[in-house]
C-alpha cells in the first residue's frame, strides 16, 4: 500500500504510456484519446468551476473556437494543427478574458445563463459566417500524414502530454496565492474582496486559463476528426460532459475531473455501443448525476477520501488544510501523510 | 495629530431610508475612536461606505488625505484600511490558517503565482494565531470554531494585511467578559504598535474604557463627539439613547 501511495502517479503514467501498445486496435486508441481529451478539458473547466465556483455551461464555445481556428489555419495557412493548436488556444484564452470581463459582472445562475448565451452567439456566428466557416456543412482539413491504422496513436500521446501540463497548471494554481484567493472567493466573494483579493482580476484570469485547455482540446479534436461543423463544435453537451465528469469525480479537487473522465467517457462509449443512442446516454448520465448530487455531493474522490480519513484519523482537517499544512510542515511532521496521495 | 480618515458630507439612501445623511467624521491617526449610536443609526452602513461595499450618493471619503471614494474594496484594503463585520465573515470551508493567508495588502504577479513566499507568511500567520490563542486550531475549518474563536480569527486575519487602520463592528458583541477583556487588551496593544482604530460598540463600558474619542451617530448623521466623559453627560446623546 505504502508503495502504491508513493508511486501511483508514475505507475498510472506508465500504464497510460503502454496502453496503445497493449490494446492495438484503432478503436482503443480513439477511446483512449477521448478519455485523455476530456480529462484535460474537465481539469481546465475545474479551475474556474471547481476552485472558484463559477460554473460555466458555455465552455463549448472555446472548444468550438479552438477547433475552427486550428482548421482555418490549417486550410488557409497550411499550419500543422499539432503545432498551431497550443498557440491558437492562447488567442481563445484572450477572447475568454475579454468575454469574462463582461460576463463575470454577473454571478450565480445569471452567470450560467450568460455563458449559455455566449455559446449560442458563437454557434450562430459559425453557422452564418459562411465565407470563413462554410456554414452548417462545416469545414474539412487535411488528414494527418501518418498511415491510417496508426493514425490515432500520435493523437493519444499528444493529448496525454497536454493532460499532464493541464494537471500541473491546475496543481500549481491551487498551491499558489492565486489559487487560495480563488477558493476563498468560492466561500465568500465579498469577504475576499474586502481582505484585499482583487476578485475581478482573479475571476477573469481563472476564466482565461480554464478556457485555454478547452480550446486546445477543440483544436486537437478538429484535426482528429478532420471535419468539423457548428453543431458538433459548438455543442453544449461537450461543456456539460466536462461538468458531469468534474462533479462525478470531485468538484474543486485536482484529480476529480480526471477520475470522472476515466469513468464517464468509456461508459458513454459502452452505452452508445449497446443501445446506439445518444438520448439513452443522456438519460443515464442525467440519472447518475442526480444520484451523485444527492448521495455524494462532493463527488467520488472527496467522499471516498473523507470516508477513509474519518476511519483513520477522526480529527484530520479537510483537504485544503492539508495542502497548506504540507507546505508548513513539509519537513518536520508527516503524520497526516498517509492518505495524502489520493488528494494530490 | 494627523487625520487618518475623513468622511466629508457623505450621504447614502436605500429606497426610502436615508441611512447616512450629510455625515462629517474625522478619525485622528493613532487614536482609538469609538462610534456609537442607537440601532439603525447607520454605523454599519458607514463602515460599508468607507470600505467600498457601497458608494456614497454624495460626499467624499479620504484616507490619509487621498480620496478612496468609489475605489473597489480590495484597493482600499491594499491602502491599509481593514475591517471586521458585525456578523463574523470568514471563509468557512477553509482552515483557520488558510483564513489567515488570504488577506493581503499588496501583491505583484510574482507573489501571486509563487508558492515560495508562503513560508514567510505562514510564519507571520502562526505568530498572530499564537497571539490570539488559536494555534492549536490552525488546521480546523473555520466553521468548526466557536463563536468567540471565529471573532478572534476574523480579527487576527485582517491583521495579516498589515493595516494602518482597523475598523471593528461590535467586537464585544455576544462574547463573554473574559474574551471582551482579551479583545480590549489586544486592541490597546495594537494601538501602541501604531494601528488606528475605529470601533463600533454597544457595550458602553468598553467604549468608555477603551476609546480616547467618541463620535455619536443618530439617524445617519453625527449628533455629538468628544471625550468619553463629555459624551456620557451630553444631554442630546442621552436623549437619543433614551428616546423621546
Ligand atoms: N443594504 C441595505 N438595504 C436597505 N436598507 C439598508 C441597507 N443597509 C442598511 N440599511 C438601513 O439603513 C439603516 C442603518 O442601518 P445600519 O447601518 O445597519 O445601522 P447600525 O449599524 O447603526 O445599527 C437601517 O434602517 C437599515 O435598515
Ligand atoms: Mg450595525
Atom of ligand 1 nearest to the CA of B220: 14
Q: Is residue A133 part of a domain?
A: yes
Number of independent structural domains in chain A: 2
Q: Do residue A191 and residue B158 have CB atoms under 8 angstroms apart?
A: no
| Whether residue A225 is found in the same domain as residue A108 | yes
The reply to whether the predicted model has a pTM over 0.90 is: no
Minimal CA separation from B231 to chain A, in Å: 32
Map out the domains of chain B as residue ranges: 1-70+199-244
B100-148 residue pLDDT tens:
999 876 666 556 666 545 677 888 999 999 999 999 999 999 999 999 9
Which chain residues have CB less than 5 Å from ligand 2, an ion? B 44, 86
Which residues, other chains included, contact A149 with Cβ-Cβ below 8 Å and sequence gap of 6+? A26
Q: Is residue A342 part of a domain?
A: no
Among the partner-chain residues A193, A196, A327, the one whose CB lies closest to the CB of B119 is A327
| Whether residue A142 is found in the same domain as residue A183 | yes
Nearest 5 degrees, angle CA A56-CA A50-CA A163? Answer: 90
Give me the residues paired with residue B5 across strands.
B27, B63
Domain of A317 in residue numbering reads as 306-330
| Whether residue A310 is found in the same domain as residue A289 | no
- Nearest residue on chain B to A187, alpha-carbon basis: B91
Q: Which residue in this structure is represented by grid cell 482604530?
A: B197
Q: Which residue in this structure is represented by grid cell 503514467?
A: A13
* CA B34/CA B210 separation, integer angstroms: 8
* CA A158/CA A143 separation, integer angstroms: 16
Give me the residues paired with residue B8 across strands.
B60
How far apart, in Å, are the Cα atoms of A212 and each of A84, B67, B215?
A: 13, 39, 53
Give me the residues paired with residue B167 across strands.
B83, B198
Choose between B168 and A177: higher pLDDT: B168
Q: What is the ipTM of this complex?
A: 0.91
| Whether residue A208 is found in the same domain as residue A159 | yes
What integer pLDDT is reported at residue A171 of this predicted model? 94
Q: What percentage of chain B has pLDDT greater than the value 90?
A: 77
Atom of ligand 1 nearest to the CA of B42: 17
B82-97 residue pLDDT tens:
999 999 999 999 999 9
| Whether residue A218 is found in the same domain as residue A127 | yes
| Whether residue A152 is found in the same domain as residue A264 | yes
| Whether residue A147 is found in the same domain as residue A37 | yes
What integer pLDDT is reported at residue A36 of this predicted model? 97
Minimal CA separation from B161 to chain A, in Å: 7
CATH of domain B1-70+199-244: 3.40.50.300
| Whether residue A284 is found in the same domain as residue A310 | no
- Nearest residue on chain B to A318, alpha-carbon basis: B141
| Whether residue A314 is found in the same domain as residue A201 | no
Minimal CA separation from B109 to chain A, in Å: 9
Q: Do residue B91 and residue A325 have CB atoms under 8 angstroms apart?
A: no
| Whether residue A31 is found in the same domain as residue A174 | yes
Residue A223's Cβ-count burial label (10 Å; 0-12, 13-18, 19+) is buried
CB < 8 Å & 24+ apart, contacts of B79-82: B80/B105, B80/B161, B80/B162, B80/B163, B80/B164, B80/B165, B81/B5, B81/B50, B81/B51, B81/B163, B81/B164, B81/B165, B81/B167, B82/A194, B82/A195, B82/B158, B82/B159, B82/B161, B82/B163, B82/B165, B82/B166, B82/B167
Ligand whose nearest atom lies closest to the CA of B23: 1
What integer pLDDT is reported at residue A150 of this predicted model? 72
Q: Do residue A317 and residue B140 have CB atoms under 8 angstroms apart?
A: yes
- Each residue's pLDDT expressed in tens, for chain A with a length of 344 residues: 778 888 888 999 999 998 888 888 888 899 999 999 999 999 999 999 999 999 999 999 999 999 999 999 999 898 999 999 999 999 999 999 999 999 998 888 899 999 999 999 999 998 888 888 888 788 888 888 777 667 788 999 999 999 999 999 999 999 888 999 999 999 999 999 999 999 999 999 999 999 999 999 999 999 999 899 999 999 988 998 999 899 988 899 999 999 999 998 998 888 887 777 777 777 877 787 788 778 777 777 777 777 777 766 544 344 443 444 343 333 333 333 333 333 43
At A168, which CATH number? Answer: 1.10.3470
Amino acid at each position: 500500500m505504502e508503495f502504491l501511495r508513493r508511486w501511483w502517479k508514475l505507475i498510472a503514467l506508465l500504464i497510460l504510456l503502454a496502453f496503445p501498445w497493449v490494446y492495438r486496435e484503432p478503436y482503443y486508441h480513439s477511446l483512449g484519446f477521448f478519455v485523455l481529451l476530456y480529462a484535460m478539458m474537465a481539469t481546465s473547466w475545474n479551475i474556474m468551476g471547481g476552485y472558484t465556483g463559477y460554473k460555466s455551461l458555455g465552455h463549448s464555445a472555446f472548444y468550438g473556437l479552438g477547433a475552427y481556428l486550428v482548421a482555418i489555419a490549417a486550410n488557409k495557412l497550411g499550419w500543422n494543427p499539432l503545432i498551431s493548436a497550443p498557440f491558437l488556444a492562447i488567442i481563445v484564452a484572450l477572447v475568454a478574458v475579454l468575454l469574462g470581463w463582461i460576463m463575470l459582472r454577473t454571478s450565480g445562475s445569471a452567470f450560467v445563463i450568460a455563458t449559455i448565451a455566449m455559446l449560442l452567439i458563437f454557434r450562430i456566428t459559425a453557422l452564418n459566417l459562411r465565407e470563413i466557416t462554410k456554414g452548417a456543412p462545416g469545414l474539412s482539413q487535411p488528414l494527418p500524414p501518418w498511415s491510417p491504422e496508426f493514425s490515432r496513436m500520435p493523437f493519444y500521446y499528444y493529448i496525454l502530454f497536454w493532460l499532464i501540463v493541464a494537471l500541473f497548471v491546475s496543481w500549481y494554481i491551487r498551491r499558489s496565492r492565486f489559487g487560495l484567493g480563488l477558493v476563498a472567493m468560492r466561500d465568500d466573494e465579498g469577504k475576499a474582496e474586502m481582505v484585499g483579493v482583487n476578485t475581478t482580476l482573479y475571476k477573469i484570469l481563472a476564466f482565461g486559463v480554464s478556457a485555454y485547455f478547452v480550446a486546445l482540446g477543440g483544436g486537437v479534436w478538429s484535426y482528429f476528426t478532420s471535419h468539423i461543423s457548428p453543431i458538433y463544435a459548438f455543442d453544449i453537451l461537450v461543456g456539460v460532459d466536462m461538468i458531469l465528469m468534474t462533479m462525478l469525480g470531485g468538484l474543486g479537487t485536482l484529480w476529480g475531473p480526471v477520475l470522472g473522465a476515466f469513468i464517464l467517457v468509456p461508459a458513454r462509449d459502452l452505452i452508445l455501443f449497446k443501445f446506439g443512442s445518444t438520448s439513452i446516454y443522456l438519460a443515464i448520465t442525467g440519472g447518475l448525476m442526480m444520484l451523485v448530487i444527492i448521495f455524494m455531493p462532493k463527488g467520488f474522490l472527496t467522499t471516498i477520501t473523507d470516508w477513509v480519513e474519518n476511519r483513520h484519523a477522526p480529527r484530520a482537517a479537510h483537504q485544503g488544510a492539508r495542502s497548506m499544512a504540507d507546505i508548513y510542515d513539509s519537513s518536520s511532521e508527516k503524520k497526516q501523510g498517509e492518505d495524502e496521495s489520493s488528494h494530490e | 495629530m494627523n487625520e487618518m480618515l475623513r468622511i466629508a458630507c457623505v450621504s447614502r439612501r436605500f429606497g426610502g431610508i436615508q441611512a447616512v445623511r450629510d455625515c462629517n467624521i474625522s478619525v485622528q491617526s493613532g487614536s482609538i475612536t469609538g462610534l456609537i449610536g442607537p440601532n439603525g443609526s447607520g454605523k454599519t452602513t458607514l463602515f460599508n461606505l468607507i470600505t467600498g461595499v457601497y458608494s456614497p450618493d454624495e460626499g467624499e471619503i479620504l484616507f490619509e488625505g487621498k480620496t478612496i471614494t468609489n475605489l473597489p474594496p480590495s484597493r482600499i484594503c491594499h491602502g491599509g484600511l481593514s475591517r471586521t463585520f458585525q456578523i463574523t465573515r470568514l471563509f468557512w470551508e477553509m482552515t483557520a490558517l488558510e483564513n489567515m493567508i488570504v488577506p493581503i495588502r499588496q501583491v505583484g504577479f510574482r507573489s501571486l503565482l509563487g508558492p515560495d513566499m508562503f513560508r514567510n507568511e505562514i510564519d507571520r500567520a502562526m505568530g498572530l494565531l499564537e497571539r490570539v490563542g488559536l494555534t492549536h486550531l490552525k488546521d480546523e475549518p473555520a466553521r468548526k470554531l466557536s463563536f468567540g474563536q471565529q471573532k478572534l480569527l476574523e480579527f487576527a486575519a485582517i491583521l495579516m494585511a498589515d493595516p494602518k487602520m482597523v475598523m471593528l463592528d461590535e467586537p464585544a458583541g455576544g462574547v463573554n467578559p473574559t474574551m471582551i477583556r482579551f479583545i480590549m487588551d489586544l486592541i490597546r496593544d495594537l494601538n501602541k504598535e501604531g494601528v488606528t482604530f475605529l470601533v463600533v460598540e454597544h457595550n458602553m463600558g468598553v467604549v468608555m474604557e477603551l476609546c480616547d474619542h467618541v463620535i455619536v451617530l443618530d439617524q445617519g448623521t453625527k449628533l455629538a463627539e468628544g471625550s468619553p466623559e463629555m459624551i456620557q453627560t451630553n444631554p442630546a446623546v442621552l436623549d437619543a439613547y433614551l428616546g423621546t
